[in-house]
C-alpha cells in the first residue's frame, strides 16, 4: 500500500487529538492533491503572494501566544477580586494551584498539543513563585507542579507496566506517580535555588528563574542516562518559538518560551509608575516574539538528491520470549511486503524495516539471516534493518544492518549508542524491577560514539534507533564524519500506548527542525512518517501493516548553528544571566534595598 501524502494538519483516525497545524483542515485518506506545492497554495494560502503567505504563516504561529497574553493582560488590568486575593494568600491554595498548573502544562504535548496550555502552566508557576513565602514553599510548589506535569504527560508508562509487566493496576499507577515525583526534582530545584539566590524580585522572575529552569531541563536530559521527554520546547515544535530550533536546539526553544513567560509575569510585578522598567520588559518580550517570527522565514538547507524509498510497517506483535520458528514466521510478512512492486513502476533505492524485526540475534540464525540479502538482490535495492547482534557470547548490541545487492551478506553498520535504562541496560540496584517486567536482553552494550555513515545512492544517512531521537546533541555527532542528507529513525514502541508514539513523533519533528534535514521515521505498528526539514509532515501512515512508498528529497548545505555549536552557547548565556542575578543581589544589598 502506498501512503497518502497528507497536509500538515492531518491526524490519524485512531489519534483524534494529534496536533493540527498549517490550515488545520484534516484530509481523509486518498483525498486531495498529493503534491507538497499544492499544500502550500491551498486553503488559507490560496491566491496569496509570497510575502502575504509569510505574514499569514507568522500570524498562525503566533496563535499559541494569544492565550498566555490574554491571561497576563487581564491580570494587569487591576487588582484581582478580594476573594481571589485572599485565597492566594493561603499557602495551601497556592500549592494546589501549582499542581493544577502542572497538569494544564502537560496538555501542551502530543496527543493534546495545546502549546498555549504549556505556556499558561509555566506562567502560572512563575507567578506563584513570586508570591511564595520562603524557599521551602517555592521548592514544594515547583515539586507539585512537576509531579502533576510529568505524571500526566507520561501516563502512557502505565500501559507498559500493567499490560506487559503484569504489574497490578494500583501499583502501576503508583509507579507513574513515583516517576513523576522523581522527575519533579528538577523544577523543584530551579524554584529552590531561585529563592536561595534572593535577587531582587523582578530580576529573580525575569532572569534567574528562567535561567535555572533551562539549566535544569538540560541536566535532566543528560543526567542518569538522560530523559529529556517533555522538555517544554517540544510543545512549541510547530508553534512560533519552534523557529529557534536550528539556532540552538530544543533547549533554546524552551529558553525563549520561559523567558517570554517570565517577562510577562515580571511586567505584572512592576508598579505602573515605573514605566521605564515596564517598557524594558515589553521590549524584551517583543524582541523574543519578533525574532521568532523572523527566524521562521529563514531557509537553513537546500534540496539535494532524491531517493526512492519503501518503509515497511509490518505491525508484528511484540516478542517477550522467542519461540522456535518465530523469526521465520515474522520474515514471511516482511518478505511479502518488501517484494511488492513499487507503484508507478519505479525502482527502489532503499527499503527500510523498523526496529526489532528479529526476535533473536542474527548470528544465531542461518536461513533467516540470509533473507534481507535475498530481498536486496531481488529488488535491486539496499535494505536497512534492525536486529540484535551478538559478536561474542552474551554480548548484545541493538544494531542496524545493511544488505546490498552487490555484497555477499548483510553486515552491521551501526550499533545503538544510547541505551534505555531498564529496557536495554540495568541500572545498579534495579535488577529486580527488570526481572519483574520480563524484558528480554536487558543487558546490552552501547555502540561507539563515532560510527561511519551509511551511503545510499550518493546520500549519507544519519542513523538512530528508537529512544536515541531524544538526544539532539548526539544526532549532531554525525556531522563530524559526513554531511547527512536524511536522518533515519527505526523504532518499535509496542511496549507503550498511542500517546507515547505521538510524543515520540513530536521529538523527531524537533530533530528535523534542529538539523534542517528530513527525518524518515520507520515504526513497527503505526505512524511511520516522512518529516520535512521545517518539522511538518510530508507523509504519515496510520496503524496497521502497510508500506509507505515515497520519494525522499535529501537536503544539503551548511550545518545549522545548533549542529555546529550544540548547547554550549545557550548554557554559557544562562550562566551569564545567573551572574547578573547574583550581581543584582549584591548591588541591592549595598544600596540597602534588601533582597
Instruction: Give residues with Cβ within 8 angstroms of 2, minimum separation 6.
Output: 343, 547, 548, 549, 550
Q: What is the pLDDT of residue 554?
A: 97
Question: Smallest Cα–Cα separation from 243: which of 304, 290, 302, 303?
Answer: 290
Cell of 57: 504563516
Q: What is the pLDDT of residue 44?
A: 33
Alpha carbons 50 and 48: distance in angstroms, whole number:
6
Alpha carbons 133 and 128: distance in angstroms, whole number:
10
Torsion on CA atoms 276, 278, 284, 290, rounded to nearest 10: -110
Q: Would you kindly state where each structural domain of the chain is located, as residue ranges?
A: 59-298+565-585, 302-559
Residue 470 buriedness (CB in 10 A; 0-12 / 13-18 / 19+): buried
Q: What is the pLDDT of residue 10?
A: 44
pTM for the structure as a whole: 0.84
3-state DSSP helix/strand/coil percent for the chain, to nearest 5?
Answer: 50, 15, 35
Torsion on CA atoms 104, 109, 113, 118, rounded to nearest 10: 40
Q: What is the CATH number of domain 302-559?
A: 3.60.110.10
Cell of 90: 493561603
Catalytic residue among 205, 238, 368, 416: 416
The answer to whether residue 272 is catalytic is no
Place of cell 544494531: 399
The answer to whether residue 416 is catalytic is yes
Could you give phi then psi for residue 15, rounded to 5 degrees?
Answer: -140, 65
Q: What is the pLDDT of residue 508?
A: 97
Place of cell 529563592: 195
Alpha carbons 313 and 361: distance in angstroms, whole number:
21
Q: Angle formed by the axes of helices 91-105 and 115-131, to 10°?
A: 160
Cell of 166: 503484569
Query: What is the mean pLDDT for each group of 10 consecutive residues in the chain (595 residues)?
Result: 44 40 36 38 33 46 54 52 69 94 95 93 96 95 98 92 86 94 97 95 96 97 83 94 97 98 94 90 95 95 96 88 80 93 79 92 89 95 94 88 94 88 67 63 74 91 94 93 95 87 95 98 95 95 93 95 97 97 88 57
Catalytic residue among 466, 468, 536, 543: 466
Residue 569 buriedness (CB in 10 A; 0-12 / 13-18 / 19+): middle
Instruction: Give residues with Cβ within 8 angstroms of 465, minimum separation 6.
Output: 355, 386, 398, 400, 414, 416, 489, 490, 491
Confirm if 570 and 255 have CB atoms less than 8 A apart.
yes
Q: What is the pLDDT of residue 18?
A: 42
End-to-end Cα distance, the chain: 66
The answer to whether residue 466 is catalytic is yes
Cis peptide before 111 (omega within 30 of 0): yes
Catalytic residue among 355, 368, 371, 424: 355
Q: What is the pLDDT of residue 445?
A: 79
Torsion on CA atoms 252, 254, 260, 261, rounded to nearest 10: -170
Amino acid at each position: 500500500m502506498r501512503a497518502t501524502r497528507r497536509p500538515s494538519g492531518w491526524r490519524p483516525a485512531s489519534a483524534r487529538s494529534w496536533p493540527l497545524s498549517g490550515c488545520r483542515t484534516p484530509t481523509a485518506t486518498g483525498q486531495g492533491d498529493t503534491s507538497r506545492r499544492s499544500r502550500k497554495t491551498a486553503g488559507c494560502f490560496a491566491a496569496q503572494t509570497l510575502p502575504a503567505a509569510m505574514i499569514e504563516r507568522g500570524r498562525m504561529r503566533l496563535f499559541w501566544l494569544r492565550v498566555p497574553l490574554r491571561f497576563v493582560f487581564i491580570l494587569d488590568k487591576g487588582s484581582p477580586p478580594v476573594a481571589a486575593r485572599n485565597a492566594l494568600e493561603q499557602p495551601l491554595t497556592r500549592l494546589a494551584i501549582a499542581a493544577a498548573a502542572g497538569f494544564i502544562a502537560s496538555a501542551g504535548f502530543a496527543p493534546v498539543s495545546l502549546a498555549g496550555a504549556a505556556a499558561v502552566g509555566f506562567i502560572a508557576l512563575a507567578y506563584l513563585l513570586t508570591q511564595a513565602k520562603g524557599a521551602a514553599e517555592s521548592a514544594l510548589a515547583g515539586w507539585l507542579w512537576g509531579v502533576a506535569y510529568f505524571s500526566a504527560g507520561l501516563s502512557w508508562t502505565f500501559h507498559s507496566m500493567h499490560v506487559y509487566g503484569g504489574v497490578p493496576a494500583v501499583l502501576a499507577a503508583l509507579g507513574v506517580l513515583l516517576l513523576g515525583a522523581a522527575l519533579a526534582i528538577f523544577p523543584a530545584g530551579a524554584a529552590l535555588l531561585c529563592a536561595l539566590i534572593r535577587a531582587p524580585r523582578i530580576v529573580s522572575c525575569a532572569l534567574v528563574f528562567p535561567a535555572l529552569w533551562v539549566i535544569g531541563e538540560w541536566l535532566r536530559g543528560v543526567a542518569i542516562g538522560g530523559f529529556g521527554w517533555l522538555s517544554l520546547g517540544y510543545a512549541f515544535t510547530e508553534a512560533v518559538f519552534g523557529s529557534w530550533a536550528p539556532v540552538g536546539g530544543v533547549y533554546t526553544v524552551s529558553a525563549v518560551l520561559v523567558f517570554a513567560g517570565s517577562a510577562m509575569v515580571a511586567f505584572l510585578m512592576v508598579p505602573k509608575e515605573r514605566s521605564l522598567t515596564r517598557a524594558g520588559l515589553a521590549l524584551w518580550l517583543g524582541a523574543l516574539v519578533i525574532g521568532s517570527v523572523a527566524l521562521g522565514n529563514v531557509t537553513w538547507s537546500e534540496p539535494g538528491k532524491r531517493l526512492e524509498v519503501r518503509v515497511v510497517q509490518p505491525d508484528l506483535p511484540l516478542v517477550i520470549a522467542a519461540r522456535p520458528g518465530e523469526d521465520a514466521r515474522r520474515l514471511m510478512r516482511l518478505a511479502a511486503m518488501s517484494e511488492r512492486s513499487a507503484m508507478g513502476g519505479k525502482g527502489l533505492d532503499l527499503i527500510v524495516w523498523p526496529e526489532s524485526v528479529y526476535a533473536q540475534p542474527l548470528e544465531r540464525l542461518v536461513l533467516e539471516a540470509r533473507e534481507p540479502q535475498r530481498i536486496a538482490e531481488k529488488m535491486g535495492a539496499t535494505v536497512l534493518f534492525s536486529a540484535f547482534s551478538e559478536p561474542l557470547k552474551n554480548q548484545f548490541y541493538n544494531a542496524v544492518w545493511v544488505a546490498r545487492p552487490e555484497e555477499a551478506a548483510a553486515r552491521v553498520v551501526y550499533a545503538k549508542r544510547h541505551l534505555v535504562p531498564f529496557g536495554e541496560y540495568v541500572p545498579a540496584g534495579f535488577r529486580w524491577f527488570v526481572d519483574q517486567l520480563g524484558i528480554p536482553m536487558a543487558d546490552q552494550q552501547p555502540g561507539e560514539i563515532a560510527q561511519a555513515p551509511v551511503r545510499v545512492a550518493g546520500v549519507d544517512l544519519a542513523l538512530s534507533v528508537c529512544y536515541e531521537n531524544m538526544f539532539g546533541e548526539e544526532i549532531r555527532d554525525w556531522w563530524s564524519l559526513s554531511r547527512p542528507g536524511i536522518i533515519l529513525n527505526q523504532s518499535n514502541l509496542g511496549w507503550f500506548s498511542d500517546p507515547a508514539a505521538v510524543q515520540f513523533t513530536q521529538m523527531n519533528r524537533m530533530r528535523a527542525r534542529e538539523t534542517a534535514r528530513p527525518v524518515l521515521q520507520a515504526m513497527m505498528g503505526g505512524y511511520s512518517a516522512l518529516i520535512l526539514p521545517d518539522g511538518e509532515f510530508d507523509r504519515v501512515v496510520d496503524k496497521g501493516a502497510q508500506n509507505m512508498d515515497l520519494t525522499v528529497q535529501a537536503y544539503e548545505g551548511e550545518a545549522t548553528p545548533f549542529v555546529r555549536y550544540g548547547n554550549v552557547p545557550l548554557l554559557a548565556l544562562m550562566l551569564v544571566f545567573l551572574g547578573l542575578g547574583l550581581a543584582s543581589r549584591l548591588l541591592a544589598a549595598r544600596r540597602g534595598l534588601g533582597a
